[in-house]
Amino acid sequence: MSNNNQKPNELKIELTPEVANGHYCNLAVISHSPNEVFVDFITVAPNMPQAKVQSRIIMTPENAKNLLFALRDNLQKYENTFGEITHKQPVNGGNKGGNDIPNPFMA
């Protein structure tokens, strides 16, 4: 029996409870081969010598570019609703001891 409520090109997406919980990430490491783009999402804590990869996503370069456009579009919508996202800088130049954590998403 077919589901008459579903449109022909509509994709049904299942989100399991385990995946719905998500993972916090404050660092992404991006690398590539000729055929794939690898994105490792990592959680880094201050003064900790190790960081754990929470998730690795592997995609084609074309899909990575589609993700770039989707992120750009969504961030523009976010800023239109909530205001511009600004880069936060340490007050007074930050900690002079060299323990500042730079923005890991900035190249």
pLDDT in tens, 16-35: 999 999 999 999 999 999 99
Tell how many helices (H) and how many strands (E) occur in the chain. 2, 3
* Cβ pair 93, 99 in contact under 8 A: no
For the stretch 60-82, pLDDT in tens is: 999 999 999 999 999 999 999 99
How big is the chain by its Cα radius of gyration, in Å?
19
What is the Cα–Cα distance from 51 to 22, expressed in whole angstroms?
Answer: 17
Per-residue pLDDT for 96 more than 60? no
Q: What is the mean pLDDT of the chain?
A: 86
pLDDT at 93: 57
pLDDT for position 31 = 97
Prediction pTM value: 0.70
For residue 37, the model assigns a pLDDT of 98
pLDDT score, position 1 = 46
| Number of other CB atoms surrounding residue 80 within 10 Å | 9
Q: Where are the domains of the chain?
A: 22-82
Beta strand residue intervals within 20-92, DSSP E: 27-32, 37-43, 52-59
Residue 42 has pLDDT above 70, yes or no: yes
Look at residue 8 and tell me whether its pLDDT is greater than 90.
Answer: no
**Is pLDDT above 80 for 54?**
yes
